[in-house]
Amino acid sequence: MNYVLDTNILIEIRKGRRGVKEEVMKFINVENAEPYVTLLTFAEYYFGSLDASPKGQEDCLEFLSSYKHLTVEKGSAMLFAKLTHKYEKEGTPLSPLDMLNACIAIDNNSVFITSDKAFERVKELKKIIIAFS
C-alpha cells in the first residue's frame, strides 16, 4: 500500500510541527512503505516557496525531491471526470486540484493523508485525516 501526502501535511512536516511527522510515519512504517506526493502537490508546495530566497527555493526542491512522485495518468484523468461529475451533481464538489490529487491516489491504490476534512466527501478515496491541535 502506498501513502500519498497532501500539501497541508508537507507544510506541517516542513515546519517541524510537533508530532505530525511521527503521526504520518506510524501509518507508513506499519507497512514499510514510502510516502509519495503527487506532482500537483509538488507544484502547489513549490509555488509557496517562490517568494523565498534562492537558497530557500533550493531547500524546498530538496525537500520535495525526498519523496517519490505520482502524476496524472489516463485512469486518474478518467476518474477525475467521473467523480467531478458525480460530486457536482450531488452538490458537494471538491476543488479541481483536490479532486485530481484524490483521483491520482485512488488510481494508484494509495491512502491519501491530509488534514483537510473536505476529502471526507470522497467515498471512493482511502484516506487518513489528521487533526492538528
Which tens digit of pLDDT belongs to each residue from 78-103?
A: 999 999 999 999 999 999 999 999 99
Distance separating the N- and C-terminal Cα atoms of the chain = 28
**Residues 117-128: what's their mean pLDDT?**
97
Q: Would the pLDDT of 17 be above 90? A: no
Percent of the chain with pLDDT over 70: 98
φ, ψ of residue 37 to 5 degrees: the values are -130, 150
Considering only the top CATH level, what class is 2-129? Answer: alpha beta
Q: How confident is the model at residue 56 (pLDDT cuts 50, 70, 90)?
A: very high
Q: Do strands 126-129 and 110-114 pair parallel, antiparallel, or not at all (unpaired)?
A: parallel
Q: Would the pLDDT of 132 be above 90? A: no
Q: Are 70 and 37 in contact (CB under 8 A)?
A: yes
Q: Edge to edge, what strands does the sheet with 35-38 contain?
A: 68-70, 35-38, 2-5, 110-114, 126-129
Instruction: Reduce the DSSP state of residue 70 to 3 states and report it.
Output: strand
The answer to whether the Cα torsion of 38, 42, 47, 49 is positive or negative is positive
In sequence order, the β-bridge partners of residue 112 are: 4, 127
Residue bearing the bigger pLDDT, 91 or 23: 91
Q: In the block, which residue shows the cell 485525516? A: 129
**Which residues fall within 8 angstroms of residue 6, CB to CB, at 6 or more apart?**
41, 101, 112, 113, 114, 115, 116, 119
71's grid cell: 502524476
In sequence order, the β-bridge partners of residue 114 are: 129
Percent of the chain with pLDDT over 90: 81
Q: Where are the domains of the chain?
A: 2-129
**Residues 29-57: what's their mean pLDDT?**
92
